[in-house]
Structure 1
Amino acid sequence: MWGNAFLLSMLYLLVGVVVEIALRLFPSRFLQRLSLSLDSLPARALELMGAMDPLRTAFFNGHISESGVRLIFGLTTVVVIFLLALVVGTVMGTLRYFIARAAYRRGR
């Protein structure tokens, strides 16, 4: 479970880095949309936590740089993916336990 979450997090971040580099070298409407769609996951998570407005204010006031926002988005993405992996792993583990328990009872 931890390995899958780590791998998925690293893959998401790698795609994000590649898209950002490509956007800087070859600006296009497609890459801009792809970048925005990748940013939507951490932006929504930060919005739900009430942290997006202070982050936006700090960015527009010059208190945090674009790379700082990218770092926060990246860390938020890793946390969201790990939490999703934990929830899915817990649900699957619980289902597996109940199925194994039911099979054991029938086998007696």
Structure 2
Amino acid sequence: MWGNAFLLSVLYLLVGIVVELLRRQFRSPLVERLSMALDSLPARALEVVHGLEPLRAAYFDGRISDLGVRVLFGVVTVVVIFLLALVVGAIMGVLRWAILRAASHRGGPPPA
């Protein structure tokens, strides 16, 4: 579970770095849309915890740079991916426990 979450986080961050480099080099609408799509996950997560408005205000007031926003979005994305992995892992653990418990009451292992 942790390995998958780590791999997904690294992959997401690598794609984000490549897209950001492309966005700075080539101002194409496709790259801009891809950048916005990648930013939507951390932006929504910050919006849920009421952190997007203070971040927006800090950005427009000049208290945080573009790089600072990118780093914060990267950290939020990693946290979201790890939380999702934890939730999915917990659900799968509970399902496995329920199946094994039901099988033990029937007197044998679950069918393959």
**TM-score (norm. length: structure 2):** 0.93
CA distance in 1 between counterparts of 2:67 and 2:61 reads: 15
Q: Percentage identity across aligned positions?
A: 65
Partner amino acid for 2:13? L
Find the aligned partners of 2:49 and 2:90 in 1 and give their Cα distance.
23
1:27 is paired with a residue of what secondary structure? coil
Q: CA deviation at 1:103?
A: 1.0
Higher relative contact order, chain-length normalized (CA < 8 Å, sep 6+): 1
Structure 2 SS opposite 1:63: coil
Distance in 1 (CA, whole Å) between partners of 2:27 and 2:97 is: 51
- 1:36 maps to 36
Shift of 1:60: 0.4
Deviations along 1:7-35, whole A, 9 cap, x unmatched?
Answer: 11111111110111111122210000000
Structure 2 partner of 1:61: 61
Distance 1:107 1:76 in 2: 46
Q: Give the Cα separation in 2 of the matches to 1:87 and 1:41.
A: 17
Q: Counting helix residues as a fraction of each chain, which structure ranks higher? A: 1
Extract structure 1 runs of 4+ deviating beyond 2 A.
none
1:23 maps to 2:23: yes
Please name the residue that 1:103 is paired with: 103
Q: Distance in 2 between matches of 1:25 and 1:59?
A: 22
Q: Deviations over 1:63-90 (max 9, x none)?
A: 0000000000000000000000000000
Unaligned runs of 5+ in 1: none
Instruction: Give me the whole-angstrom Cα distance separating, in 2, the residues matched to 1:24 and 1:64.
Output: 19
* CA RMSD of superposed structures (Å): 0.8
Gaps of 5+ in 2: none
How many residue pairs get matched?
A: 108
Cα deviation per residue 1:44-79 (whole Å; 9 max; x = unaligned)? 000111111110000000000000000000000000
